[in-house]
Amino acid sequence: MSAKVSLRRFATLDSDEQQPTDTRPAALDRLIQVPGDVMDALTAVFGETGLLEDQARVAKVLEARREVQASWGRAAKSFIEAGKALLRLDAALTTPAEKAALKAGCEHLFPFSDPVASQLRAVARAVESGILPPENCPASYSVAYQLCVMGAGDFAEAKRRGLVSPSVTRAAIIAFRRERQRAAETSTRVDEAGLRAEAQRLGNRIAQLQAEIRTLERRRVEIARLLTSEPEEGGKA
């Protein structure tokens, strides 16, 4: 059942027929065949912003909501299309307030939370940029996201091992990331024994140099004494 009641029709109703005052933005009243629960969701999310006064952008929100919900209910890789719809919606939101409102009210419009929406966007970006070919995309958005947040080196290695694949499991990706993390930690781990040995060698070398400096200093003093005594000997002659 549509929640739309035109303002003109409202004005012609008898007092007994008049409905309670609707405080939602007037722009929503111009929308055709928008269910009441959807209008409530729009108001809950964007009621404190100016977006609801712009019918074209309200239509963008409704279009994204429709596409996402349709995609969410289809085959596994439909999450790519859902992510692309979210990216298009992001481009339609023009103010920080609108973006913050969508982030806070994501679950009012879509069948998932904002963290899930962020993962869907990341996967869609990777697909659109060519980093993650759609034919190689894992069948789960959470597994695909694990690939998307890898560094370039790790992603290349995962691809070499055949892990960038529709059949890859979450467990396989997590095991791979842990392995790579351990390898990175090992390569950067401090070699305490080697450092202690180097410190000892440096200490010995410093002691040798200090001994040489003392020898050189004694010789310098001796030379200065000899140079000072030569004129006296010449005067006596």
Same domain, residue pair 11 and 112: yes
Distance (Å, rounded) from C-alpha 47 to C-alpha 181? 45
Contact 28, 34 (CB under 8 A): yes
Backbone dihedral region for residue 4 (phi beyond 0: left; psi -120 to 50: alpha; all else: beta): beta
User: Model's pTM, two decimal places?
Assistant: 0.59
Q: What is the mean pLDDT of the chain?
A: 82
Give the C-alpha distances (Å, rounded to integers) separating 130 from 125, 134, 137: 9, 9, 11
Please write the tens of the pLDDT for every residue from 72-118. 656 557 899 999 999 999 999 999 999 999 999 999 999 999 999 99
Is 187 within the bounds of a domain?
no
Region 119-146: mean pLDDT is 93
Domain housing 61: 7-129
Say yes or no: 15 and 113 in one domain.
yes
Confidence of residue 20 (pLDDT cuts 50, 70, 90): low
Which of 82, 105, 129 is the last residue before a domain boundary?
Answer: 129
Query: Same domain for 106 and 215?
Result: no
Alpha helix (H) residue ranges in the chain: 7-12, 26-29, 36-46, 55-72, 78-92, 96-104, 106-109, 114-128, 141-148, 152-160, 170-188, 192-236
123 and 204 fall within a common domain: no
Q: Is residue 14 part of a domain?
A: yes
Last residue of a domain, one of 78, 96, 129: 129
Whether 165 is covered by a domain: the verdict is: no
Residue 12 has a pLDDT of 44
Cα-Cα-Cα-Cα dihedral sign, residues 52, 53, 54, 55: positive
Residues above pLDDT 90, as percent of the chain: 52
**pLDDT, tens digit, for every residue of 24-75?**
555 455 544 678 888 899 999 999 998 988 989 999 999 998 888 777 656 5
Whether residue 8 is predicted with pLDDT greater than 50 in this model: the reply is no
Instruction: Tell me what pLDDT residue 172 has.
Output: 95
Angle at 74 between CA 69 and CA 93, to 5 degrees: 30
pLDDT per residue as tens digits for the range 172-193:
999 999 999 888 877 666 677 8
Distance CA 68, CA 80 (A): 10
Do 36 and 1 meet the contact criterion of CB atoms below 8 Å apart?
A: yes
At residue 14, the pLDDT reads 44
| pLDDT > 80? residue 17 | no
pLDDT above 70 for 9: no
Burial 3-29, CB ≥16 within 10 A → b, else e? bbeeeeeeeeeeeeeeeeeeeebebbb
Number of domains, the chain:
2
